[in-house]
Structure 1
């Protein structure tokens, strides 16, 4: 699961241009450029995915994904009103351990890679 960067896919961050750079840095202020997935779409997809996981009643789940969409997964697990936890961003290879019980989620630990 990852964020759809549209025409910016596989483009180095340094050459994405101001519209994409500003959006990715401050999505609460700048709109997603055309062809790029919006924060609202990321939140909806992550929420739908997490609700589907809950319906399965697994004991343990590992979610491996890129940082953009993980911001929406973290927002869901932290019960953020806007559905996203944009900052601080996760570190590369960071592991976050959550506990989920009766619809409530709790961050247990953060392991930095």
Structure 2
């Protein structure tokens, strides 16, 4: 079983380094380009099922990648973490506007719940449930278009179900990761950063032309 994890393309929220999960932002031009690049890499794979979150940015990415607007399975469990009242604010703004909450967040990042949001433990629990059900399907190739936090949570699930690994990986907009499940063994097969996709494709074109 091959699980292709694709982080949505860049939005203005990403570009401006805002904390946001629930906010419904669209892709910017760079994000659309990232999705097009990913689509070239994935064009020869026959996905029976494509999972997306409830957020506009994952749908837009999936539509560009696959060249269609229908046939997606929407699953709220792969929504990005909800930052509550921290949404739409920069790291510095959160420190200034919510100094008490920020200190609690810094000292206990797993259990702290932002006002109106959810904790990383709550967030991880729903992602873990999604992964368990997905593995039970036994599908050969699956595409999951989701968010950076969700992808990190999936890595934690693969690495012995341990949330401590959450900050040990990066996940950039447009990144493509492949998780394999073979003979009862779940592992990270590859991680391709969005910035490398264009270089990879240009290299492929160069080899063909030569």
How far, CA to CA, are the matches of 1:72 and 1:22 in structure 2? 21
State the structure with bigger RCO (CA 8 A, min sep 6), 1 or 2.
2
- Alignment-derived partner of residue 134 in structure 2: 53
Give the drift of 1:99. Answer: 0.8
CA RMSD of aligned residues (A): 2.8
Is 1:5 aligned to 2:83, yes or no? Answer: yes
Contact 1:94–1:110, Cα closer than 8 Å, also in 2 = yes
- Alignment-derived partner of residue 177 in structure 2: 96
How far, CA to CA, are the matches of 1:21 and 1:57 in structure 2? 43
Is 1:39 aligned to 2:90, yes or no? Answer: no
Give the drift of 1:47. Answer: 0.7
- Alignment-derived partner of residue 70 in structure 1: 151
Could you say if the C-alpha distance between residues 42 and 83 of structure 1 is closer, same or farther in structure 2, counting changes exceeding 3 Å?
Answer: farther
1:45-75 C-alpha deviation (Å, 9 max, x unpaired): 0110011111221111122222122221111
Structure number with bigger Rg: 2
Is 1:85 aligned to 2:166, yes or no? Answer: yes
Q: Give 5+ residue unaligned stretches, structure 1.
A: none
1:11-70 C-alpha deviation (Å, 9 max, x unpaired): 34442335459837x725x83323221111111101100111112211111222221222
Is 1:27 aligned to 2:109, yes or no? Answer: yes
Give the drift of 1:102. Answer: 3.7
Q: Could you list the structure 1 runs, at least 4 aligned residues long, displaced by more than 6 angstroms after superposition.
A: none
Higher helix share: 2
- Give the TM-score taking structure 1 as reference length: 0.76
| Equivalent pairs, count | 112
